Amino acid sequence: MTSLDDMYREVIMDHYRAPRGKKPLEESNVSSHGHNPSCGDEIDMKVLVKDNYLKGIHIDCKGCAISTASASIMAETLEGKSFDEVLKIAATVKALLKGEIDEVDEDLGDIDSLAGVRQFPVRIKCALLAWVTLVEGLKNYAEGKDESGEVTLSGSLDHDD
């Protein structure tokens, strides 16, 4: 398998062609906007958090195959998860993309298919965009600051630290 095949796996391409989380929510209480200035990718998300659980997520992503697929995988994996689980999974994705871990739990759906991105360092930011955008929105929500987050990716991977 070439590294291209590894990054653009069938699973990734499936998410890219038919992204999950497209359906608008009737109700939401978190919104967040992410932007990758190096390529212009933009992501808008609305989330419904109820009783500490992520009840719904709507994503509008204008980006490349990797950022779109990663956002789709995120929507699919996180719906119904608790607040703490969401943050833990987001940290796992980051560790996977940064090469700190090589495998993830089987119950994390298609997240493991993002591992192929690691061979393309310049594309790691694409895969991270949705996750850091969500975490920023949730953090603001938890701190009761504001319902919305705003993320602009810079050169560092530590956007949510």
Partner 1 sequence: MNQKETQAEKLTNPEAVKTRPIKPLDTDRIKQDFPILNEKINGKRLVYLDSAATSQKPKVVIEALTNYYNRTNSNIHRGLHTLAEHATQAYEQTRAHVASFIGGVHSSEVIFTSGTTHSINTVATAWGNENISEGDEIVITEMEHHANMVPWFMLAKRQNATLKRIPITVCGHLDLSDLDKIITEKTKIVAVTHMSNVLGTINPFDKIVARAKKVGALVLVDGAQSAPHLKIDVKALDVDFYTFSSHKMLGPTGVGVLWGRKEILNKMTPLLYGGEMIREVSFERITWAELPSKMEAGTPNIADVVAFDAALDYLERLGMDRIRQHEMELTAYAIDKLSKIDGIEIQGPLETDQRGGAISFTDSDIHPHDISTFLDANGIAIRAGHHCAQPLMRVLGKMATARASLYIYNDQADVDILCDSLVEMRRFFGL
Nearer to partner 1, 67 or 140 (CB): 67
With contact defined as beta carbons under 8 Å apart, do 86 and 77 qualify? no
Smallest gap from Cβ 38 to partner 1, in A, equals 6
Task: Say if CB 46 and CB 30 are below 8 A apart.
Answer: yes
Among 22, 23, 24, 40, binds partner 1 (CB under 8 A): 40
Q: Tell me which stretch binds partner 1 (CB under 8 A): 45-53, 64-72, 129-137, 152-160.
A: 64-72
Q: Is 154 in the site for partner 1 (CB under 8 A)?
A: no
* Residue in 42, 44, 60, 76 binding partner 1, rule: CB under 8 A: 42
Question: Residue 13 interacts with partner 1 (CB under 8 A)?
Answer: yes
C-alpha 40/C-alpha 42 separation (Å) is 6
Order of all β-strands in the sheet with 148-152: 53-62, 41-50, 30-36, 148-152
Under the binding rule (CB under 8 A), the answer on residue 66 touching partner 1 is yes
Our CB check for partner 1 shows the closer of 97 and 126 to be 126
Instruction: Check residue 144 and report its DSSP letter.
Output: T
How big is the chain, counted in residues?
A: 161
Which of 160, 145, 19 is closest to 89 using CA atoms? 160
Minimum gap (Å) between residue 132 Cβ and partner 1: 17
What CA–CA distances, in Å, run from 89 to 5, 18, 20, 108, 112? 25, 22, 18, 8, 12
Contact pick of 9, 30, 41, 90 for partner 1 (by CB under 8 A): 41
Q: Does the footprint of partner 1 cover residue 97 (CB under 8 A)?
A: no
Single residue of 3, 52, 152, 154 touching partner 1 by CB under 8 A: 3
Distance CA 47, CA 119 (A): 31
- Residue ranges in contact with partner 1 by CB under 8 A: 2-4, 7-8, 13, 17, 37-42, 62-66, 120, 122-123, 126
